Structure 1
């Protein structure tokens, strides 16, 4: 290791022990992995490039209260903005996991830490950030999403998730905005009209209440007809997804089109969509997919969307990330118990690779059919 790197790492000497991990990314997969590693007795440094995640209308299926209690060690409180067991809001899950991480003495979370370089040698792995700091640990885990920086060092031959050929519009409306006009949906609606697909889901309100008048309605509108807009706005370049289309960047003409096209959908969804359009409370997310052929390289490993990116239609992302977190923590613990870390991480890869490849590929069948019918 060079003198420069040794000097840069000196500020973090307490985290150069073998019983340590650096987790790059502090969204859901990163938070889950950090908590699992902590339970295994491992000290964790989390590095996140943004200072805060925006609240959105995104939701996750297949997330039960038992899962969240196991992850956080805490039962739900009245202030938790969680939902029915079949659908959970992304923001509420993030809030609970983030609170558990902040309360964990084995985990330290650093924001505004943009990772620029990832490296390793026989004794440790490290990441260097834009502010000139270097963080060393026994293992570096990439939980940095579908545009993962760590993936470039794990799979340099296959670094990018690719555009699936369509997007989803996402929004969230208060029940009170449409109260008195429609019956509250009892379950998730999956609707197809023309070339479009809409998933609508009832959710608890911001305080977690499911009392009439206090609830919310979330929706995700699958749209394969506006790929030119995504490319015009730089959201997709070539076949690589670059970023989400923010509400402020949606053209007025597109908003008017969406309001008109909302007539495709039955009540209450047409009114919920128009409410969101009127408030500019929508985002457009280009869908990326990534089928991995490896999850580790030496002391470097991937979890969550850094490792595998299925279409949201599979509703499998959270469950896959949770399984990754459990498996990576088990592997790192074995690596600290005498087995070489690189070998232990290979065991993680063997445990997870076939399963996650199959999950992503199952979603690709929907993607090819959906994107193809709009072509």
Structure 2
């Protein structure tokens, strides 16, 4: 049986010119960044990944198109543990580890963790990334550094920040072993419904080590809450229209924990009881929705993709999927011409309209949700 990221499924792309060794930098070592590095490497590029974290988060759950993932990265990802919930679902941490393992096996990729990008300077023939560990130089730079992207400041200096959507997502994982009797067939499927004064999304993903058998899986809960604006602004998680940080359960007061615990009592079984455990143990996070509507994806020899290019609410179900489409389009454009700046312009021409449409839908939903005042 293949591993979750075994052997390449495609050879390095053949081109009509004699391509010398070429170097790219990917800023951001999360999912989109790792996929971009793997795809570029499979196409013949030497890639340096600059990732500020030394310990990636465990993550929550996510939808996944395994066929697209395999086609984009050049890896056989069919062994990635997935549960059908109405869409194929896996654990963020499971996918990140599979991609990181594949990167480690790839000699053309250098993953440098604990390196924070401070600024990007685009020159005539190359790009310099200034970091806390010195300067890095390459033929072009890909910004895959999330909703608070540093690279986006160069690409889009007139609008460098994602905008707060007015909703915070309380997110957590529950072990099936904490659910009396385990998950039913109905629990496994994705559901989105009112729960007290909030809206609640739930579904089931594989266990922490990829277990698929009953009793060892995990449940994902995401509560959409538009009643915490004062909290987010008071404690600096949101400043004006800019999302500054994720809320961690450990940073909330006892009163705030008790308030969220009370909310879980209004959730349907089995999610209320399970989420109450996560809240009581402060084993959850709060993510203020950050949405970024791009006017451009490229400037010179610098491009952005994934959440750096189009931050959206998870209700769209299209964030990572569109990040993969970004990577596919970018590498395809680079394969078509040795002129990097022309290739990046082609990438922007192909992807800008679709991602703007995605973010526009996300914004419309967020504004409609806040106006409907389900939290009031």
TM over 0.5: yes
CA distance in 2: counterparts of 1:75 and 1:361, whole angstroms? 31
SS in 2 for 1:173: strand
User: 1:13 is matched with which residue?
Assistant: none
Whether the 8 Å contact between 2:237 and 2:247 is mirrored in structure 1 is yes
SS in 1 for 2:288: strand
User: 2:50 is matched with which residue?
Assistant: 47
| Unmatched runs of 5 consecutive residues or more in structure 2 | 1-19
Whether the 8 Å contact between 1:59 and 1:87 is mirrored in structure 2 is yes
Instruction: State the superposition RMSD in angstroms.
Output: 1.8
SS in 1 for 2:272: helix
User: 1:369 is matched with which residue?
Assistant: 368
User: 2:194 is matched with which residue?
Assistant: 192
User: 1:332 is matched with which residue?
Assistant: 334
| Unmatched runs of 5 consecutive residues or more in structure 1 | 1-16
Structure 2 vs 1, CA of residues 363 and 75 (structure 1 numbering), >3 Å: closer, same or farther? closer
Select which of 17, 36, 42 maps to 2:39. Answer: 36
Residue 215 of structure 1: how far off its partner (Å)? 1.3
Select which of 301, 304, 323 maps to 2:325. Answer: 323
CA distance in 2: counterparts of 1:180 and 1:46, whole angstroms? 44
User: 1:357 is matched with which residue?
Assistant: 356
User: What's the CA shift string for 1:60-86, capped at 9, x where partnerless?
Assistant: 12x133334443623455xx6654462
User: 2:283 is matched with which residue?
Assistant: 281
Number of equivalenced pairs: 351
User: 2:11 is matched with which residue?
Assistant: none
Does residue 1:64 correspond to 2:46, yes or no?
A: no
Residue 327 of structure 1: how far off its partner (Å)? 1.1
CA distance in 1: counterparts of 2:340 and 2:178, whole angstroms? 54
User: What's the CA shift string for 1:66-120, capped at 9, x where partnerless?
Assistant: 334443623455xx66544621211111111111111111110011111112112
Whether the 8 Å contact between 1:168 and 1:287 is mirrored in structure 2 is yes
User: What's the CA shift string for 1:202-248, capped at 9, x where partnerless?
Assistant: 12212222222111111100000011111122111111001101121
User: 2:344 is matched with which residue?
Assistant: 345
Whether the 8 Å contact between 1:72 and 1:100 is mirrored in structure 2 is no
SS in 2 for 1:264: coil
SS in 1 for 2:362: helix
User: 2:253 is matched with which residue?
Assistant: 251
Structure 2 vs 1, CA of residues 203 and 182 (structure 1 numbering), >3 Å: closer, same or farther? closer
CA distance in 2: counterparts of 1:169 and 1:264, whole angstroms? 15
Whether the 8 Å contact between 2:176 and 2:182 is mirrored in structure 1 is no
CA distance in 2: counterparts of 1:55 and 1:195, whole angstroms? 28
User: What's the CA shift string for 1:159-187, capped at 9, x where partnerless?
Assistant: 11010001000011111112227635131
Q: What TM-score, normalized by structure 2, do the two folds share?
A: 0.89
Whether the 8 Å contact between 1:31 and 1:98 is mirrored in structure 2 is yes
Whether the 8 Å contact between 1:81 and 1:206 is mirrored in structure 2 is no
CA distance in 1: counterparts of 2:65 and 2:182, whole angstroms? 31
Whether the 8 Å contact between 2:189 and 2:203 is mirrored in structure 1 is yes
Residue 346 of structure 1: how far off its partner (Å)? 0.6
Q: What TM-score, normalized by structure 1, do the two folds share?
A: 0.89
Whether the 8 Å contact between 2:176 and 2:183 is mirrored in structure 1 is no
